Structure 1
Amino acid sequence: MTNKVPTNIITGFLGVGKTTTILNLLKNKPENEKWAVLVNEFGEIGIDGAMMSDQGALIKEVPGGCMCCTAGVPMSVGINALLRQKPDRLIIEPTGLGHPKQVIATLTSDQYTPYVDLKATIGLVDPRNLSNEKYTGNQNFNDQLQTADVIIGNKVDECTAHDIDAFNDWVTDQTPAKVFHKLVTRGQLPIEVLDIERVHGGASSHIESHHHHHAEMEPEFQLDPNQPFARKENKGQGYFSCGWLFGAEYRFNFDELFSLISDLKAERVKAVVNTDQGCFAFNSANGVVSVNQLSLEGFESRLEVIDSQLMPWDQLESILLKLAGITR
């Protein structure tokens, strides 16, 4: 490789709209460019990559929250695999519970500086969360915003005037000042923001160690030929996740699945599912469910639930199996 690949980290807490933002960027990228996306999720199943694969980008997933670990082996494997395909741009989406400073430290290391041109780190925030102690008291939430060069206040259409004032006050008080900030709806990030140079989003010389459960270190997760479904759990940093993967031959009733996801009180629900009406991506955050149809075929359905409380996974699994027509 003779040219460095322009690279951006897009960070933000759970449910802030990172995936939606990246999907919008992919839809608006120059037609002659090939973009790559490295997706890291706290859950073990991997939902975001399935949503993005419909946009024709090069996708690599690191499920299970592994990318934020100090060793960084799964992240390096994923980055190397994407760089070998010579993309015109690389976007990295760490988990909403991740440590952006470690990702920056890796990308600015001697290993990657000959190949990666790290541009501004973009931090997404829901302005409503800036007045909520649940978020402002969370170290990762604060680290993500502190590390970002660019701050995007997303979901402004769901905010009150008080929320907008809180966002503007917060941005004004930042030292050092943020390079750029903007309020947007539905992740409509101006594509020009990706070319802003990195200024103060540097890696700290000290990165706090952290521990969480790991499943398999391999980023790919598939079903065995005779296995109708599989379940994976993860926990760490005060959050629990449980995900299910279902064989491509199973179809869910769209209406029943939508009702189930709408009724779940979890903080985060994501799914890409084959239904009787086609393949759909479901996204639930703050009690709001969005649905988008995908053109995927022969795809293994997957659903992931994340919450700060341990939920009755066995009960939920029984409901999902019934919806899929799977008998134990």
Structure 2
Amino acid sequence: MRVPTNIITGFLGTGKTTAILNLLKEKPENENWAVLVNEFGEIGIDGAMMTDQGALIKEVPGGCMCCAAGVPMSVAITALLRTNPDRLIVEPTGLGHAHKVLATLTSAQFADYIDLRATIGLVDPRNLSNPKYLENQNFNDQLAISDIIIGNKVDQCHVSDIDTFSDWVTDQNPPKMFSQLVKQGRFPIELLDSHRRDESPSGNIEEHHHEHAEQEPQFQLPPNQQLVRKENKGQGYFSCGWIFGAEVVFNFDDLFSVLSDITAERVKGVMNTTNGCYAFNVSNGVVSVNEMSLDGFESRLEVIDSQLLPWDELESVLKKISSI
């Protein structure tokens, strides 16, 4: 029996992880879901955020998982399919190559095992008026392969942004199957069973090359070390990630203040604090915080920006507000 599968795509900061977390909370209790998470950064934050939801999570950190002839992605998908899930959700990195991911999932290799349903693309309507995004090939490709478009963060949009979203959807050729404006990434779980448009994903796929690090299994914190740090770069973006030992505790108020002051385009973390374990998500200068039930967890923080930031200075600040 082929496993119903969905790609949930979208650029940095559109709310893909939040949307998947909402779906996991609503999944039927008798179903086992698997989630393949791909992140541009080296640390792997999204999988940690989903740990509480009872799904089987597998991460491919360190850049676009379709690179290296798709080996990291194929290996990860095969491992998840061996667990016989009732549904598979694939979350490519916001800087990933959407056509390549789609081509892998519809290849002969997985034809007998994957029933690919509608691809759901999330977009922040405000980005549809910003040349920085409109001129980005990955941004456009992600929306192009999406059968369903979800305009997320409508509560943060102006009327003009909503009008731009509506005009954009109307102008799409071929037309999208469905579109909806939502907030906090909440859309009907029934959309996952929508059939995808019958189009070949292999056409017009350009070869691409990256500067980012060679993809490999997520690294662990070495014994007797309280933190490790890894950096990545590619497609005009830079990332820096840290893992802190489970014994390291951050002052909650100080950490919230530090994350609020970071000017980077994307900040994610799952951190042990004086108030407990929390997931931090920073996008467009807004810090979202969600309590988690993790215990004895290694804190993880990832920062992504189009500029190379002073990572040493940030690390020094993080040490000062922690128990290191």
TM-score for the superposition, normalised by structure 2: 0.98
The answer to whether the aligner puts 1:112 opposite 2:110 as a matched pair is: yes
- Of the three residues 77, 99, 102, the one matched with 2:100 is 102
- How many angstroms apart in 2 are the aligned matches of 1:224 and 1:215? 20
- Of the three residues 204, 223, 226, the one matched with 1:225 is 223
- How many angstroms apart in 2 are the aligned matches of 1:289 and 1:5? 36
- Of the three residues 84, 90, 93, the one matched with 1:92 is 90
**Which residue in the other structure is 1:283 paired with?**
281
- Of the three residues 127, 130, 148, the one matched with 2:128 is 130
- How many angstroms apart in 2 are the aligned matches of 1:317 and 1:186? 30
* Cα deviation, residue 70, structure 1: 5.3
* Cα deviation, residue 68, structure 1: 2.9
**Which residue in the other structure is 1:211 paired with?**
209
Counterpart code for 2:40: F
**Which residue in the other structure is 1:151 paired with?**
149
- How many angstroms apart in 1 are the aligned matches of 2:48 and 2:210? 24
- How many angstroms apart in 1 are the aligned matches of 2:51 and 2:212? 25
The answer to whether the aligner puts 1:140 opposite 2:138 as a matched pair is: yes
Aligned length: 324
**Contact in 2 for aligned 1:49/1:59 (Cα 8 Å):** yes
Q: Deviations over 1:205-227 (max 9, x none)?
A: 34222222344533322111112
Q: Deviations over 1:122-181 (max 9, x none)?
A: 100001110111111111111110111110000001111111110000000000000111
177-186 or 218-227: which moved more? 218-227
Counterpart code for 1:286: N
- How many angstroms apart in 1 are the aligned matches of 2:84 and 2:250? 38
SS at match of 2:259: helix
**Contact in 1 for aligned 2:62/2:216 (Cα 8 Å):** no
**Contact in 1 for aligned 2:3/2:114 (Cα 8 Å):** yes
* Cα deviation, residue 189, structure 1: 1.2
**Contact in 2 for aligned 1:147/1:201 (Cα 8 Å):** no
- Per the alignment, do residues 184 and 44 of structure 1 end up closer, same or farther by CA in structure 2, a change over 3 Å counting? same
- How many angstroms apart in 1 are the aligned matches of 2:18 and 2:123? 13
- How many angstroms apart in 1 are the aligned matches of 2:73 and 2:271? 27
- Of the three residues 305, 316, 321, the one matched with 2:314 is 316
Unaligned stretches of 5+ residues in structure 1: none
- How many angstroms apart in 2 are the aligned matches of 1:133 and 1:66? 23
**Which residue in the other structure is 2:36 paired with?**
38
Summarize the alignment of residues 259-274 of structure 1 with structure 2, pairs less than 5 Å apart: 259-274=257-272
**Contact in 1 for aligned 2:66/2:72 (Cα 8 Å):** no
**Contact in 2 for aligned 1:70/1:102 (Cα 8 Å):** no
**Which residue in the other structure is 1:170 paired with?**
168
- How many angstroms apart in 1 are the aligned matches of 2:5 and 2:82? 14
- How many angstroms apart in 1 are the aligned matches of 2:172 and 2:212? 35
Counterpart code for 2:149: I
**Which residue in the other structure is 2:241 paired with?**
243
- Per the alignment, do residues 216 and 139 of structure 1 end up closer, same or farther by CA in structure 2, a change over 3 Å counting? closer
Counterpart code for 1:315: E
**Contact in 1 for aligned 2:212/2:234 (Cα 8 Å):** no
Counterpart code for 2:217: P
Unaligned stretches of 5+ residues in structure 2: none
SS at match of 1:77: helix
Counterpart code for 1:89: R
**Which residue in the other structure is 2:298 paired with?**
300
- Per the alignment, do residues 248 and 202 of structure 1 end up closer, same or farther by CA in structure 2, a change over 3 Å counting? farther
**Contact in 2 for aligned 1:66/1:74 (Cα 8 Å):** no
- How many angstroms apart in 2 are the aligned matches of 1:200 and 1:180? 15
- How many angstroms apart in 2 are the aligned matches of 1:321 and 1:215? 26
- How many angstroms apart in 1 are the aligned matches of 2:152 and 2:141? 18
Q: Deviations over 1:34-73 (max 9, x none)?
A: 0010000000000000000110110000001140315111
- How many angstroms apart in 1 are the aligned matches of 2:225 and 2:33? 34
Q: Deviations over 1:217-256 (max 9, x none)?
A: 3332211111211001110111100000001111111110
- Of the three residues 15, 21, 25, the one matched with 2:19 is 21
**Contact in 1 for aligned 2:147/2:176 (Cα 8 Å):** yes
- Per the alignment, do residues 201 and 95 of structure 1 end up closer, same or farther by CA in structure 2, a change over 3 Å counting? farther
- How many angstroms apart in 2 are the aligned matches of 1:91 and 1:263? 33
**Contact in 1 for aligned 2:250/2:272 (Cα 8 Å):** yes
- Of the three residues 187, 196, 199, the one matched with 1:198 is 196
SS at match of 1:72: helix
- How many angstroms apart in 1 are the aligned matches of 2:233 and 2:207? 16
**Which residue in the other structure is 1:9 paired with?**
7
